Chains A and B, each alone.
Chain A
Amino acid sequence: MSATPAPPRRAAVPARRRSAGRTRQARAAWLLSIPFLLLFLVFTAWPVFQSVFLAFTDATRRDLRSPFAVDFVGLENFAQALADERFRKAAANTFYFVLVGLPLTLVVALAAAVALNKGIGRLRSFFRLGFYAPVITSIVAVAVVWRFLLHPDYGLVNEVLSWVGITGPNWLGSTTWAMPSLIAMAVWRNFGTAMIIFLAGLQGVPASLQEAAALDGANAWQRFWSITVPQLRPTILFISVTTMIGYLQFFEEPFVMTDGGGPLSSTLSASLFTYEEFSFGNYGYASAISYLIFVVIAAVTVLQFRLLRERD
């Protein structure tokens, strides 16, 4: 516990007394950490433990009253999930969402940040607020507006398209367009956070490096790729990891926009599938899927750290 270096005098203290003092100190430490430990055990460790336990059992809603009187089924829940056509569809949808949505968010956020950092002078704070506003707006309110915008007959999007002679689709009702619509909404909703962090990152890129490169004849584009982006590497890593963790668990967009799975389950996400199974009361199965999602997130995060870590 004590962080101060032990004074040399202490070496002279007899061993017995020293150990007694340590014991007393240790006892006090334990005593003082009991409130935290209790809270941790009851509200953090126990739920994790119980959900892991559930994942290996056939527990359902009806077992709530005696949660341990259930049968242990081994890996059956996991096998069932991997064989479940609907879960595979949900997993594929989730990867689609992440693979398209994550790069798009990064590109849009970086572009906005660079523009705010360099181009737009006077209106900077106005645009910064404008781009960040979707992040702090309630998704429910946002969903109402987006559903209205995307309405096939009266929506603004199709109205604008009709000016140039294009008949827009029923965005949220089409198996092809429902997911891109949700991705567009998610990018719009989330790039603000990334943009703010990129802005901070851009401030940290030394101006001297840029100047030196400019003196050596590098144009703006070359400076961006050879100076700015490498300098932003830690920022990119941070943003891509946090955004990806969020996107792998995407749930709100389909929940509010397409009432769940959308047309022919084309917007069913893995988290939404878990939610459905929980609401059916299949606690064992749903817990197993939650852990599958957890494992995937952990694996992809490790991969990202590998790919984007600092190179010497």
Chain B
Amino acid sequence: MSTRRTRLVVALGLAAALSLTACGRSDTPEGTGETDAEEFSSDDLQGEIEMWAMGAEGEKLPALADAFMADNPGTTVNITAIPWDAAYDKFANAITAGTTPDVAMIGSTWSGDFAGQGALEPLPESFDTSGFFEGAVGTTMVDDVAYGVPWYVETRMVYYRTDIAEAAGYPEVPTDWEGFQEMAVAMQGQPDVEWGINLQPGGEGSWQQVLPLAWSAGAETDDAEGFHFDSPEVLSAVEYFQSFFTDGISDPNPPEGQTEADFTSGRIPMFISGPWMMSLVEDLGGEGFAELYDVAPIPSPDGSTSHSFVGGANLGVFTTSENRDLAWSWVQYLSDPATQVEWYGQTSDLPAIQSAWDDPALSDDPKLAAFGVQLETALAPASYPSWTQVSAAFDGEMEKIAKAGADPASSLAAVQETADELGTGQG
């Protein structure tokens, strides 16, 4: 104890002394990074590059790397798989220490953070991003400069049981809010159905369900200043979201990990999620279950354009790369439509480039095609560094909305306070 206390006193003294003398922020913000894109050459490639990738992608990439190396003798592409949990910190530390790889898979909400620290190279002009899903390209943009290229995408749709919907008198899913909710109520009235729809009652990542409702209502949740949740459009979306819980259509306290089981048993015949759920419910539901469900777009207030959330990952080249020609050529190879179709076959990652969706592997599956349509209008929050913290505040308030009957207006005001305080987080 006493040594610790002495140490503390000494340290406090040192801190005070240092604070008086040494520090203070410089007036010019550091590390805004380059904004001029430099071209690269894909002739005469050689040498070695290192790429970091997370999760299943990290495990399966070496196969593509082998194909690339076979096409380009004399080159070596080393893939390092890193777990998702540790990924963000690993990147943050590598950027600080200047030990970033040449190329990396970059989470779709990270671009702003990394580019803001000057760690990412702007995308060379020779890359044409017009063929990619617009929302996905948006996740690479920081201050109107692209810092990478979308690699794969995913979006959220409404999964529903066609058999139960039909029995409830809904062969089609209404695209407007009111009709959609009526359908959920009608399905809840069917035998053995306990809840109308499975909505995440706040908590981590619940913004991915609520913000699409707001975007579909016409809300603009970010601009150059930061994030904005105080608009009437966001309010209407949150009120709509809350009504599912106050009207007893959704369970505010669902047991965890039951979504698939409740869907296949029919206990909760609707939920909102991404394309990976297709194989999960089909595996669990057994043979023929694929005929018993379908996907529908996120509803909008009047049934017009629906905007879902686009997630996924991007590819970026770090400024520390000593072989940027090879790095960008490898990125170009990965974002080529043919490679993207092949990659879909290996991982089920949906291609970020739209032309790849014409391939029969994707276009023959009507559910997958529906995801393709939803992706065309899907959006993502601006990739500002402050988003992690702002979204955590948003998720916390949504939990109060769903579970504790909090007032939507004051909850959104609380989120806005956090958002205003943090701004874009780039200052």
Contact = CB atoms under 8 A, between A and B. Distances in A.
B224 interface: no
A127 to B, nearest CB: 34
10 contacts: A48-B8, A52-B14, A70-B24, A72-B19, A170-B255, A261-B396, A263-B403, A264-B404, A280-B388, A282-B389
Interface residues of A, number: 39
A248 to B, nearest CB: 15
Interface string B115-136: 0110000000000000000000
Given A69-B25, A71-B25, A264-B399, A56 B15 contact: yes
A170 B1 CA distance: 42
Interface stretch (A26-34, A60-68, A92-100, A135-143): A60-68
A45 B399 contact: no
B392 A64 contact: no
B194 to A, nearest CB: 11
A45 B389 CA distance: 31
Contact of B7 (A45, A151, A170, A260): A45
A173 interface: yes
A70 B18 CA distance: 12
B403 A53 contact: no
Given A70-B23, A264-B399, A62 B385 contact: yes
A265 B396 contact: yes
Contact of B18 (A53, A174, A263): A53
A263 B399 contact: yes
A72 B23 contact: yes
A279 B88 CA distance: 10
Interface string A201-242: 000000000000000000000000000000000000000000
Contact of A71 (B24, B254, B385, B399): B24
B242 to A, nearest CB: 15
A49 B25 contact: no
A276 interface: yes
A242 to B, nearest CB: 13
Contacts of B116: 62
Interface string A253-267: 000000111011100
Contacts of B8: 48, 52
A61 B92 contact: yes
A264 B403 contact: yes
Contacts of B24: 69-72
Given A64-B96, A301-B1, A276 B204 contact: no
Contacts of B15: 49, 52-53, 56
A265 B116 CA distance: 32
A173 B12 contact: no
B60 interface: no
A220 B242 CA distance: 60
Interface in A139-163: 151-153
A129 interface: no
Contact of B204 (A72, A260, A263): A260
Given A45-B11, A62-B385, A280-B392, A151 B255 contact: yes
B195 to A, nearest CB: 14
A175 B258 CA distance: 20
10 closest residue pairs by CB, A with B: A72-B19, A64-B96, A53-B15, A49-B11, A68-B23, A280-B389, A173-B253, A52-B11, A52-B15, A152-B255
Nearest to A65: B96
B367 interface: no
Contacts of B59: none
A42 interface: no
Contact of A263 (B19, B253, B255, B258): B253
Interface string A52-88: 1100110001101110111110000000000000100
A62 B118 CA distance: 11
B182 interface: no
Interface of A: 44-45, 48-49, 52-53, 56-57, 61-62, 64-66, 68-72, 86, 151-153, 170, 173-175, 259-261, 263-265, 276, 279-282, 298, 301
Nearest to B12: A52
A56 B400 CA distance: 32
B67 to A, nearest CB: 37
A282 B19 CA distance: 19
Contacts of A276: 392
Contacts of A152: 255
Nearest to A62: B117
Interface in B66-105: 92, 96
B420 interface: no
B318 to A, nearest CB: 15
Contacts of A53: 11, 14-15, 18-19
A49 B117 CA distance: 26
A53 B22 CA distance: 12
Nearest to B16: A56
B323 to A, nearest CB: 24
A44 B11 CA distance: 11
B202 to A, nearest CB: 8
B30 interface: yes
A77 to B, nearest CB: 13
A66 B26 CA distance: 11
Contacts of B204: 259-260
A31 B203 CA distance: 57
A62 to B, nearest CB: 6
A56 B11 CA distance: 12
Contacts of A44: 7
Nearest to A268: B396
A280 B422 CA distance: 11
Given A49-B11, A260-B204, A264-B400, A66 B30 contact: yes
A170 B252 CA distance: 11
B1 A298 contact: yes
Contacts of A279: 388
B263 to A, nearest CB: 15
Interface in B19-57: 19, 22-26, 30-31
A158 to B, nearest CB: 11
Given A52-B11, A260-B204, 10 more contacts: A45-B7, A45-B11, A52-B12, A61-B92, A69-B24, A71-B23, A170-B253, A173-B253, A173-B255, A280-B392
Interface in B227-269: 253-256, 258
Contacts of B389: 280, 282
Nearest to A47: B11
Contacts of A174: 253
Contacts of B12: 52
